[in-house]
Chains A and B, each alone.
Chain A
């Protein structure tokens, strides 16, 4: 199984500041034949299901604000929120869909400082 490890486990950022969440996979999720990274990011607010933010490591889902961006390749990925808003308080998960079983990171809890 591909193990997904996120860092940090929790993060407190001031409103308007940048938030950065990291995700590392135990093996590469880059499929060389199409040069795509099989990595998605989700946001989960309390009492709600996860919401897809980003897929292919850097493609924003329709309707997701452009303050959310994804980057990285191979085994190391980053989710960046450029200017934190109050509504961004949530737990964020990465997920690889390169191989089944499709696995998630343990989550990063983002709070306001």
Chain B
């Protein structure tokens, strides 16, 4: 059973870069069986997919965030990370990391394991 845990600063200043890491246990981030993703939820609102990354570095980004977004994988630490630049208060949200389990042939981007989420507030 995969377990995912987000970590990172809870407060980021406007125009700076939001950086979060997700640590994976119970499975290898280098496995071809998973895609790794980020989803966020502004307080009291719905869910927004941010992006997903494969162990090889192949990524999918939400076009609405693409110009500010960097996703990466660190296989040595069994972690994957998100960097979102030039943040504004609209980026205040609970950020979740999540996994997609892939079949032998393909990966389908629904999310079957989730971290508990971490609240990031953008404020000066």
Contacts and interface: CB of A to CB of B under 8 A. Distances in A.
Interface of A: 38, 40, 42, 48-52, 55, 61, 93, 95, 97, 100-107
A3 to B, nearest CB: 12
Contacts, number: 53
Nearest to A101: B62
Contact of A101 (B46, B63, B108): B63
A45 to B, nearest CB: 12
Contacts of A106: 46
Sort chain B's interface into a size bin. Answer: 20 to 34
Interface string B75-109: 00000000000000000000010100000000011
A28 B62 CA distance: 20
Interface string B107-124: 011111011110000000
A34 to B, nearest CB: 10
A49 B115 contact: yes
